[in-house]
Structure 1
């Protein structure tokens, strides 16, 4: 998994103008197109959360609700690993074309889906393509841009995830109300094509394979483990509906998923070993807790409080604003707050947020309580995630930072996927519903707070690395 590392250090032979900026000369359109692709993938990822209650009602697919979110996260892991391996061996052009094609095909399938099962199939394609897009673009950036410009591109990619969190849910909810939820998917297809057209001219001359390195067989082994983990998550979503044997099969699926993800993570991650393993595990647990609640909050507000889709989506915007604001604040704090303190405070805020929503559901409190609580959770994520990324790099040897970066992304995706899969089983159980789902997320958040105590900076790591935190935010 060294494609992250190699993509960032390779100079760009196609653009010799050393003083060019990312929005100047030959870089203008490829910068806009690359950022647009990341933005559209992020928009779909976030916007679908706001409209899925309407989709579920229109297609009578309540039992498939969790899989519609967990599935793309699981297949996204396969896309990440596969695109990196493919780009290492054949160059980034074919992986990028294929990933964009898969993502677009998934959008079309979802938009035209006559049944929830078909929509879930489209979401699996979306996840596979979306997971691969970012990795392929990282390699493209390494091939095209001089090294001094690459941090600006990565910061731009990060911003392309923050902006959809602010505007995506409201836009998606409005489109669903005025035109129908189908256009939340179909309306993006044309924009993806336009963004790709901007990138294509800059890809000429970047198609050759990178230098062969040892460890290729190990790379294909990682792809096999990623595929097994994804299959286990999908099986977990389906096992609960089987009579008599569903419970036993669910336990087996969880065990297989954990066994398969182990080789993809630093040694000692699943046992919360002090340092880097605990940092990676904290990322996975916090993602599982936060996004396990994120998916069901609009559903709760739509079903129990009668919110329209657009207004329910605005609650996610509250969380996005809080996330962006807290990311800015932690960057300004710098040395005045240690990375470990940021992680501990952030995880505690996420736990408090989920506990507040659980109390709201259990006691039938006003919806405003849950909305405010979600803002607190977003602030916790914004405070801790840049610090987790900085710790992750600081605790890794230079030669292992590519593997650590991919491990962090995999922990995020599979943590969320497993949480959503188990949450779906709880939601459909007789004792579950919204109370059960938010109780599960709260329990995962509590474990995250405990593990966060073991995520500490190594001796000699500066208390802040401003550039790293800006990119990570």
Structure 2
């Protein structure tokens, strides 16, 4: 059997995570312009939630498949699907097509990050992983710096379609490196996928998402979601190989980390989705300026995660968790107060930086505490479950805020949807909007988005309160104090 070339395989995995990180900032920067050209501002949130939902629900399934059939075929399948979705998204000519192709893109992304992190665990010892983590943190930091600028330049000088094409050469290079340099000997395990549990989880989360952003029309989905999720829990308790073992939540550290992770992720994804929209649509900023508002948060996260791993040796988990979540409350409160017509953008960037630094400290400590709370045989499941709840929180948070924004726009029947779309066009379309309509529209958007920013603050406060109940977890001397997963903003 050929030997794996560890350095080049590591490069390939770093490139795969770079694609995921770049996707966050570039798409957030360009989305207001996309709405201006394609229309469909009422579906704005679905472009994000469709991608996040499809990638999140498939994470535990891909994890099981990687155990059954090996890491290599699963990550190659994920990269291929991600690239197909990227190309199709770039060719989309309507908002409906874009949402469908983003779903396809998310189905591929669901394999990339968890399998890449699993491969790092296979390639490196516990001691080596602490060093490799620094490089993977730098990947997210670089993507956070170049993403908004790249997205803004693409929209300005080329077309929004190219924001989806830029990942294609990176993905092709990643695919080729893994094919050529990663080799494994698969030990097939007699496991079966929990199809019933996976199906109920998918249906329950989709129903919940429809319910929270239903704007009064889809509230029927909330009781349906409750029934489906209760059925999911019952199936998981009896399944021989459950998607999410319910027994792990008997550990207080895991249960509280799941709640706190879901809440701070709702705040984080809400900020990356709606701050660029506010800056471009209400404040009149350029796509580059709009994307630049979230750069301090995305860069602050991995930088703080690097320090958090070292501070854990001295402080333990609770100070970093409570202190980090406290910083997120300060940052989101300032953000909600500062997002006004005459607000200095630099002050907003400082608020976003505080938010990101707080997330970096708290999320790292929470994830490593989860890994410390269980033995080796449950560590992978516990880590995957924690990531799952974080992303589900982001999906539902963005969906809820999308419902709030649309409800404010629909509250005034004199506002035509076409005017809202034109407001976000490349030239902001002001010439085609009557002045009275423009004032009414701007007021409705400002009202809806202001509510969203206070919701972001509320989510951060909820995460902080959950953090106050975090138990005192003893960190074993042999436990790694930094992991590549902890430094990545999921």
Q: Which band: TM-score by shorter chain?
A: 0.7 to 0.9
1:73-92 paired onto structure 2 within 5 Å: 73-92=52-71
1:124-135 paired onto structure 2 within 5 Å: 124-135=103-114
**Number of the residue aligned with 1:228:** 203
How much has 1:149 moved relative to structure 2? 5.2
Question: In the alignment, does 2:482 pair up with 1:468?
Answer: yes
1:211 corresponds, among 179, 188, 204, to 188
Report Cα offsets for 1:21-77 as digits up to 9, x if no partner: xxxxx3333222222122112211332111111111121121111111111111112
2:365 corresponds, among 387, 393, 404, to 387
Question: In the alignment, does 2:465 pair up with 1:450?
Answer: yes
Question: In the alignment, does 2:211 pair up with 1:196?
Answer: no
1:397 corresponds, among 350, 368, 375, to 375
**Number of the residue aligned with 1:252:** 223
State the secondary structure of the residue aligned to 1:383. Answer: helix
Contact 2:78/2:107 (<8 A) preserved: yes
Contact 2:324/2:361 (<8 A) preserved: yes
**Number of the residue aligned with 1:311:** 289
- Using the size of structure 1 for normalisation, the TM-score is 0.84
Equivalents in 1 of 2:223, 2:181: separation in Å? 47
Contact 2:254/2:373 (<8 A) preserved: yes
Contact 2:151/2:288 (<8 A) preserved: yes
Report Cα offsets for 1:4-35 as digits up to 9, x if no partner: xxxxxxxxx7439xxxxxxxxx3333222222
Equivalents in 2 of 1:341, 1:147: separation in Å? 24
Equivalents in 2 of 1:404, 1:150: separation in Å? 18
Change (3 A) 1:256 1:60: farther
Question: In the alignment, does 2:22 pair up with 1:51?
Answer: no
Equivalents in 1 of 2:188, 2:47: separation in Å? 39
**Number of the residue aligned with 1:344:** 322
How much has 1:471 moved relative to structure 2? 6.2
How much has 1:151 moved relative to structure 2? 5.6
Q: More displaced, 227-236 or 54-63?
A: 227-236
Equivalents in 2 of 1:293, 1:463: separation in Å? 37
Q: More displaced, 405-414 or 360-369?
A: 360-369
Contact 1:337/1:463 (<8 A) preserved: no
Q: More displaced, 436-445 or 414-423?
A: 436-445
Change (3 A) 1:68 1:426: same
Change (3 A) 1:186 1:155: same
Gaps of 5+ in 2: 237-242, 412-446
Change (3 A) 1:157 1:128: farther
Gaps of 5+ in 1: 1-12, 17-25
- Using the size of structure 2 for normalisation, the TM-score is 0.81
Equivalents in 1 of 2:329, 2:350: separation in Å? 14
